[in-house]
Amino acid sequence: MESLKSLEDLLELMDIDMKIDSLLDTRGSLPELDSYKDAHSDVERIGSAIGAAKDAAGSAAKGLSKTNGELDIAAVKAAEEQNRLYAGGLSARDADYLRREVDMLYGKVSKMEDEVLEYMEAAESAEAQLVALDEERTIAEALKTNLGDSIRTQWQTIDKELEVKEDRKRTTIDLVDPYLIEMYDELRASREGRVVGRLSDDTCGSCHLRLSAAEVSQAQKQDPPRCIHCRSILVS
Ligand SMILES: [Zn+2]
How remote is the CA of residue 210 from the centroid of ligand 1, in Å?
A: 8
Task: Determine the distance separating the centroid of ligand 1 and the alpha carbon of 97, expressed in angstroms.
Answer: 107
Instruction: Give the distance (Å) from ligand 1 centre to CA of residue 73.
Output: 94
Distance between Cα 209 and ligand 1 center (Å)? 6
Write out the residues surrounding ion ligand 1, Cβ under 5 A.
Answer: 204, 206-207, 227, 229-230, 232
**171 CA from centroid of ligand 1 (Å):** 27
CA of 203 to the centre of ligand 1 (A): 8
How remote is the CA of residue 43 from the centroid of ligand 1, in Å? 51
Phi, psi of 191 (to 5 degrees): -155, 165
224 upstream amide cis, omega within 30 of 0: yes
Task: Report domain extents, the chain.
Answer: 30-157
Distance of CA 148 to the CA centre of its chain: 11
User: What is the pTM (predicted TM-score) of this model?
Assistant: 0.75
What spacing in Å lies between the alpha carbon of 231 and ligand 1's midpoint? 6
3-class SS letters over 180-218: HHHHHHHHHHHCCCCCEEEEECCEECCCCCECCHHHHHH
**Cβ count within 10 A of residue 136:** 16
Tens-of-pLDDT digits for all 236 residues of the chain?
A: 456 679 999 999 999 999 999 999 999 999 999 999 999 999 999 999 999 999 999 999 999 999 999 999 999 999 999 999 999 899 999 999 999 999 999 999 999 999 999 999 999 999 999 999 999 999 999 999 999 999 999 999 999 999 999 999 999 999 999 999 999 999 999 998 899 999 999 999 999 999 999 999 999 999 999 999 999 999 98
We find that the CATH architecture of domain 30-157 is Orthogonal Bundle (1.10)
Ligand 1 centre distance from Cα of residue 14 (Å):
14
Give, in order, the Cα–Cα distances in Å from 198 to each of 180, 185, 187, 207: 15, 18, 16, 10
